[in-house]
Structure 1
Amino acid sequence: MEPREKKETDPRAPSNYADLISTLPFEEGWAPALTRKYQGFWIPQCFLPGIMGMQQNFKARPDDLFVLSYPKCGTTWLKALTYAIMTRVQYPFDHHPLLGQNPHECVPFMDRTYSKGQASELDAMPSPRILNTHLPFSLLPDSIKSLDCKVIYVCRDPKDVLVSRWHYNNRMRPQPIPFAKAFEMFCEGNCPYGPIWEHVLEYWEESRRRPEKVLFLRYEEMLEDPLGIVKRLAEFMGCPFSPEEDKEGVVEEVIKLCSFDKLKSLEVNKTGKLDPNFSLTNDSYFRKGKAGDWSNHMSPEMVQRLDGVTEQKLRGSGLTLGGLGSRV
Structure 2
Amino acid sequence: MGKIVWLASYPKSGNTWVRAFLHNYITRPEAAHSINRLTDFSVAECAAPFFRQPGETLTIEQVQALRPGVHEQLTKLHPDLVFVKTHNANLAVHGIPLCTPEHTAGAVYIVRDPRDVALSFAAFAQRSVDEIIEVMANPGAANASDDLQVFELLSSWSAHVRSWVGAPRRLLTRYEDLVAEPERYFARIIRFIGTGEVDQQRLALAIEFSSFKSLSAQETAEGYKAGGKGEKFFRQGKAGQWRERLTPAQVQRITAAHGEVMQKLGYL
TM-score w.r.t. length of structure 2: 0.75
Q: Supply the distance in 1 between the matched residues of 2:22 and 2:238 (Cα, whole angstroms).
A: 20
Matched, 1:125 2:77: yes
Q: Which residue of 1 aligns with 2:44?
A: 109
CA distance in structure 1 between the aligned counterparts of 2:259 and 2:174, rounded to whole angstroms: 17
Does 2:9 match 1:84?
Answer: no
- Contact 1:66–1:151 at 8 Å: present in 2 too? yes
What whole-Å deviation, never above 9, does each CA across 1:194-252 have from its counterpart, x for those lacking one? Answer: 2110010111122xxx3xx210111011111100012111111111335xx33xx2211
Q: In 2 relative to 1, CA 233–100 (structure 1 residues): closer, same or farther, beyond 3 Å? A: closer
Aligned-partner Cα distance in 2 for 1:295–1:166: 16
Query: How much has 1:100 moved relative to structure 2?
Result: 6.1
Change (3 A) 1:279 1:202: closer
1:180 counterpart (105, 130, 134): 130
| Structure-1 residue corresponding to 2:235 | 287
Cα contact 1:241–1:251 (8 A) shared by 2: no
| Structure 1 stretches of 4+ moved >6 Å | none
Query: 2:121·2:132 contact (CA, 8 Å) conserved in 1?
Result: no
Deviation at 1:121, TM superposition (A): 8.2
Aligned AA (1:182): I
Query: Aligned pair 1:226/2:182, yes or no?
Result: yes
Query: What is aligned with 2:202?
Result: 250
Q: Relative to 1, partners in 2 of residues 1:137 and 1:93: Cα closer, same or farther, differing over 3 Å?
A: same
- Kindly indicate whether the alpha-carbon contact (under 8 Å) linking 1:153 and 1:214 is maintained by their aligned counterparts in 2: yes
Aligned to 1:75: 15
Q: Does 1:64 align with 2:14?
A: no
CA distance in 1, matches of 2:128, 2:104: 42
**d(CA) in 2 for partners of 1:321 and 1:269?**
37
What is the one-letter code of the residue matched to 1:252? A
Q: Tell me which amino acid in the other structure corresponds to 1:66.
A: W
Per-residue deviation at 1:311? 1.7
Offset at 1:67? 0.8
Residues 286 and 85 of structure 1: is their aligned pair in 2 closer, same or farther, counting only changes over 3 Å? same
Displacement after TM superposition at 1:293 (Å): 1.9
SS at match of 2:235: coil
The alpha carbon displacement at 1:147 in A equals 4.6
Alignment RMSD? 3.1
Deviation at 1:105, TM superposition (A): 5.9
Match of 1:204 among 165, 178, 200: 165
Assess, with a 3 A threshold, how the Cα gap between structure 1 residues 104 and 72 changes in structure 2: closer, same or farther: farther
Instruction: For residue 81 of structure 1, report the CA deviation from its aligned partner.
Output: 1.7
The structure-2 alpha-carbon separation of the partners of 1:66 and 1:143, relative to structure 1 and needing over 3 Å to count, comes to closer
Please give the secondary structure, in 2, of the residue aligned with 1:304.
Answer: helix
Could you say if the C-alpha distance between residues 138 and 279 of structure 1 is closer, same or farther in structure 2, counting changes exceeding 3 Å?
closer
Tell me the matched-pair count.
Answer: 236
Residue in 2 aligned with 1:14? none
Residues 23-42 of structure 1: per-residue CA shift (max 9 Å, x gap): xxxxxxxxxxxxxxxxxxxx
Q: Separation in 2 of the partners of 1:106 and 1:82?
A: 9
Shift in CA distance, 227/63, structure 1 to aligned 2, threshold 3 Å: same
TM-score, scaled to structure 1: 0.62
Instruction: Please tell me the residue identity of whatever aligns with 2:194.
Output: G
Q: 1:148 deviation in Å?
A: 4.7
Matched letter for residue 160 of structure 2:
H
Corresponding residue number in structure 2 for 1:16: none
- Separation (CA, whole Å) in 2 of partners of 1:146 and 1:269: 41
Equivalent residues in 2 for 1:128-139, closer than 5 Å? 128-139=81-92
Quote the offset at 1:297 in angstroms. 2.9
The 3 A distance-change label for structure 1 pair 148 and 133 is closer
For residues 100 and 199 of structure 1, what CA distance do their matches in structure 2 show?
A: 26
CA spacing shift, 1:181–1:190, aligned 2, 3 Å: farther
Q: CA deviation at 1:108?
A: 1.6
Unpaired runs of 5+ residues, structure 2, are 55-69, 143-153
The residue type paired with residue 198 of structure 1 is A
What letter is aligned with 2:207? I
* Counterpart amino acid of residue 205 in structure 2: E
Residue by residue, what CA displacement relative to the aligned partner does 1:40-90 show, whole Å, maximum 9, x if unpaired? xxxxxxxxxxxxxxxxxxxxx8333211111111111011122233323xx
Unpaired segments of 5 or more residues in structure 1?
Answer: 1-60, 171-176
